[in-house]
């Protein structure tokens, strides 16, 4: 049985544990959690968790692990890196979902192999778009294990260049927040046009959902946009403003560049 340790079980760690359970994979894995603040009531699937440890020293008492998922804040890793040797062997596979921290830093001169993954919050419902990079010593078997684990939370894409993970983070890692912000803005616009608050929010959320469903059926945003936009009609009046001086594209490009740069700064 594969022995899996989660170092950090906040939003992303818990989502992964829940999905491992929901997809039936947890039955083939012994799951341990190392998180000083993890609360048994935090997660409905605690029965799938073999052990909960407050520190890596405590997790060591259960021996080394085959796979360690690191899902803590990147700022914390520096304090814990030297302790990774306690819970790993040369054969261990470390999967980090932290932005910015590169493979070399993650290995910290230890012998384990490293996959970096950048999921998004869609992990909670199995709809993450996860970008991955395999470090130099990752075997085909290691890559397959990472793919299987990460497919429980959604789609998995591999990039060849580690540096591309900054852009992956800026696009899909942070991406849900952009759509949430747009949904908030759309709801507020509805209110300013006279709709009741609840109705404006319901319409904005359901519209995001319908746009997402259309995009899943027909993966061409430009064609779908054309389909909605009746010539000289109502949508065109709004899109004209999005397009003027490339407003929306410029804003999105600047915002994602800021995210990309912040990710680079974390290195």
Tell me which residues touch ligand NDP (CB under 6 A): 7-13, 34-37, 71-74, 76, 80, 97-99, 118-121, 173
- By CB under 6 A, residue 122 contacts ligand A1CAB: no
Contact criterion met (CB below 8 Å) for 117 and 93: no
Task: Report DSSP letters for 73-84, one per residue.
Answer: -HHHHHHHGGGG
CA pair distance 11, 8, nearest whole angstrom: 9
**Could you tell me the smallest distance in angstroms from the CB atom of residue 266 to ligand A1CAB?**
8
Coil, helix or strand at residue 217: helix
Residue of minimal Cβ distance to ligand A1CAB: 173
- By CB under 6 A, residue 173 contacts ligand A1CAB: yes
Choose the contact partner of 73 out of ligand A1CAB, ligand NDP, none; CB within 5 to 8 A by kind.
ligand NDP
Across 151-247, the runs of DSSP E, i.e. the strands, are 154-158
Q: Which is nearer to ligand A1CAB, 21 or 130 (CB)?
A: 130
**Could you tell me the smallest distance in angstroms from the CB atom of residue 76 to ligand NDP?**
5
Tokens of 139: 């075997």
The span of 127-135, 166-174, 206-214, 238-246 binding ligand A1CAB (CB under 6 A) equals: 166-174
Q: Which is nearer to ligand A1CAB, 76 or 228 (CB)?
A: 76
Q: Which is nearer to ligand NDP, 21 or 120 (CB)?
A: 120
What residues numbered 49-88 form the site for ligand A1CAB, per CB under 6 A? none
Choose the contact partner of 13 out of ligand A1CAB, ligand NDP, none; CB within 5 to 8 A by kind.
ligand NDP
Q: Which is nearer to ligand NDP, 9 or 187 (CB)?
A: 9
Tokens of 61: 């008492």
- By CB under 6 A, residue 169 contacts ligand A1CAB: yes
Task: Report DSSP letters for 92-161, one per residue.
Answer: -EEEE--SS--HHHHHTT-S-EEEEEE--GGGGGT-EEEEEEE-TT--HHHHHHHHHHHHTTEEEEE-S-
**Could you tell me the smallest distance in angstroms from the CB atom of residue 122 to ligand NDP?**
9
H/E stretch holding 26: none
Q: How far apart are the first and last CA of the chain?
A: 35
CA pair distance 64, 55, nearest whole angstrom: 14
> Would you tell me which residues interact with ligand A1CAB (CB under 6 A)?
99, 169, 173-174
């Amino acid at each position: 049985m594969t022995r899996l340790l989660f170092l950090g079980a906040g939003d992303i760690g818990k989502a992964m544990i829940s999905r491992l359970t929901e997809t039936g994979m947890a039955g083939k894995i012994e799951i341990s959690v190392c998180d000083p603040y993890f609360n048994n009531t935090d997660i409905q699937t605690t029965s799938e968790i073999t052990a909960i440890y407050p520190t890596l020293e405590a997790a060591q008492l259960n021996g080394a692990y085959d796979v360690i998922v690191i899902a803590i804040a990147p700022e914390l890793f520096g304090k814990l890196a030297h302790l990774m040797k306690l819970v790993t062997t040369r054969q261990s596979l470390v999967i980090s979902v932290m932005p910015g921290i590169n493979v070399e830093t993650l290995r910290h001169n230890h012998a384990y192999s490293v996959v970096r993954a950048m999921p998004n919050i869609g992990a909670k419902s199995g709809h993450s778009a996860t970008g991955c990079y395999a470090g130099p010593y990752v075997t085909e078997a290691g890559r397959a294990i990472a793919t299987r684990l990460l497919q429980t939370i959604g789609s998995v894409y591999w990039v060849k260049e580690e540096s591309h993970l900054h852009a992956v983070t800026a696009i899909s890692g942070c991406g849900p927040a952009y759509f949430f912000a747009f949904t908030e803005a759309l709801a507020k616009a509805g209110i300013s046009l006279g709709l009741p608050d609840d109705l404006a929010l319901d319409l904005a959320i359901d519209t995001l959902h319908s746009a997402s469903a259309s995009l899943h059926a027909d993966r061409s945003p430009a064609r779908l946009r054309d389909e909605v936009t009746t010539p000289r009609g109502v949508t065109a009046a709004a899109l004209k403003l999005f397009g003027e001086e490339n407003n929306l594209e410029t804003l999105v490009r600047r915002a994602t560049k800021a995210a990309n740069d912040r990710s680079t700064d974390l290195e």
